[in-house]
Amino acid sequence: MMKKAIQKFTGPYSVMAPGLLLLAIFAIYPTIFLVTISFQNYNPINIENPFVGFENYSRLFQDHNFWNAIKVTAIFVVSTVTIEFVLGMALALLLNQQLKGKRVFRTLILLPIVMTPTVVGLMFRFMMNEQYGILNYIAELIGIKRTAWLSDPDTALPALILTDIWQWTPFMAIILLAGLQGMSDDTIEAAQIDGASKWQTFIFVTIPGLSKIIYIAMLLRTIDSFRIYDTVYMMTNGGPVNYTSTLSWIVYDKGFKFLDFGYGAAICIILLIIVVTLLSFVLRKIDLFESGVNNGK
């Protein structure tokens, strides 16, 4: 009897054990290690890594490069997520119509997503080359002078934003399309019968109906945009003069170039706090939305 009770209690845990073990190895332990070395003057080639308390964090608030990275990251995240949402919604609405060749078009727009950011960054680096890039070639054909896309402070960050938009707008479109196809046609038809125009139906029926999906899609893209590194590495290396230096980039710069792992870990912790705060805010919005729907019922 006791043996059966023990098996009943431990059964689910034995099934989950492999997954929990992997989670502990690849998520929990690295996080604990990261927090620990953020309070140390950690260098992997040193035998001793003295405890320095909050010194690494105090350095952050006095570091001009850190505040510049905050600004660059904020501009990048807000620009990419906003534009990708607008273009993704337009694509989703188009693909939700009864059009010929819709399946082929759906397949084609997925191509940027399946390409790795490293490959996309290298491709756009060649396309934006000042001497032989195709974008400057097309610009000359229509009478516009050549532009040093990746070495000009005025165009380097917009070039990164454009690259990210090209790759990840289809991702936003697919999520929003799934939301559109999951909506009931009855609500939209009722609004149209009451005399609502297409624009009014979209603003007052479609958008509220997609609220939860929109929150989730924008949250996923926001988190991913904060982690931008591959494209920066392939296209600009944080330049020119730190104009494209994001938080993820300076973590690499401080940690792996200068072996200042403690300082890089402190930056990671700040980045983690920012992302978790955004995540909590969005999840709270989703909970409030669901509560409102349930109360409405």
Least confident of 31-35, 180-184, 232-236: 180-184
Q: Is the pLDDT of residue 203 over 60?
A: yes
Please give the average per-residue pLDDT across 1-26, as a whole number.
66
Amino acid sitting at position 240: P
Mean pLDDT of all residues in the chain? 85
Residue 84 CA to residue 173 CA, distance in Å, equals 8
b/e code 45-57 from CB counts within 10 Å (16+ = b): eeeeeeebeeebb
pLDDT of residue 11: 61
For 61-74, what is the mean pLDDT? 93
Rounded Cα–Cα distance for residues 297 and 285 (Å): 19
Task: Supply the pLDDT for residue 235.
Answer: 94
Which residue has 């988190």 as its token pair? 223
State the pLDDT confidence band at 127, using cuts at 50, 70 and 90: very high
Q: What is the pLDDT of residue 166?
A: 95
Residue 233 confidence (pLDDT): 92
Angle at 264 between CA 247 and CA 116, to 5 degrees: 50
- Name all contacts of 7-14 with Cβ < 8 Å and 24+ positions apart: none
How distant, in Å, are the alpha carbons of 153, 162, 175, 253, 261 from that of 120? 21, 11, 21, 22, 29
The confidence score (pLDDT) of residue 124 equals: 94
Sign of the CA dihedral with 232 first, then 233, 234, and 238 last: positive
> pLDDT higher for 20 or 94?
94
C-alpha dist (Å) from residue 111 to 108, 170, 171, 274: 6, 9, 10, 31
Q: Estimate to the nearest angstrom the gap between the alpha carbon of 7 and the chain centroid.
A: 43
β-bridge partners, 40: 51
CATH architecture of 69-257+267-296: Orthogonal Bundle (1.10)
| Token pair listed for 191 | 């609004």
pLDDT of 53 > 60? The answer is: yes
Helix, strand or coil for residue 255?
helix
Between residues 79 and 191, which one has the greater pLDDT?
79
Q: What is the pTM of this model?
A: 0.87
Q: Is the per-residue pLDDT at 68 higher than 90?
A: yes
**Between residues 168 and 5, the one the model is more confident about:** 168
pLDDT at 102: 74
The band of 171, judged by pLDDT with boundaries at 50, 70 and 90, is very high
Instruction: Please report the pLDDT score of residue 145 as a whole number.
Output: 86
Amino acid at 282: V
* 75 vs 12 pLDDT, higher one: 75
**Whether residue 17 has pLDDT greater than 80:** no
Arithmetic mean of pLDDT, 235-250? 91
* 59 against 8, higher pLDDT: 59
Per-residue confidence (pLDDT) for residue 3, from 0 to 100? 56
Query: What confidence score (pLDDT) does residue 183 get?
Result: 82
Task: Summarize pLDDT for 212-232 with one digit per residue, the tens.
Answer: 888 889 888 998 999 899 999
**pLDDT score at 139:** 87
